[in-house]
Amino acid sequence: MRSARIAASAAALGVLVYPLAAARAASASPSPAASTTLVSQCESFGPWGVYAKAVTIRSKASTNSTALGVLYRSHRFTVHKTKGNWRYITDRSTGVKGWVSAKYVHREIEDCR
């Protein structure tokens, strides 16, 4: 008796769910224009950010070079160029220009959902 109820419930559920699943599958294939628009929206990058609490700004792209200042997480900065694992930046909060390790700075990607 119990197995008959389970079978009847499963059949009834299948009748209800199948039309919904079929409708989603039909609408899930986007047109070429829609996918192109989505890709261009997802490629927009946000501002640069700092992974650590603070990063040392250096005169050359080397840990042995002179420290010029400190780039804090709250500071805004502009990246001008990249050399290996280093980025040449301008700290817009203090005006200091120099090199920071690329390990500690990143470019945020805008959420495209």
Residue among 84, 85, 58, 86 nearest 71 (CA): 58
What is the per-residue pLDDT for 81?
92
Q: What number of helices (H) and strands (E) belong to the chain?
A: 2, 7
Quote the pLDDT of residue 1.
54
How much is the pLDDT for 37? Answer: 42
Sheet hosting strand 77-83, strand order edge to edge: 67-72, 54-58, 97-101, 86-91, 77-83
**pLDDT means per 10 residues in the chain (113 residues)?**
53 48 48 44 65 92 95 88 93 93 81 58
- Please state the pTM of the whole predicted model: 0.56
d(CA 86, CA 11): 62
Cα 60 to Cα 50: distance, rounded to the nearest angstrom: 19
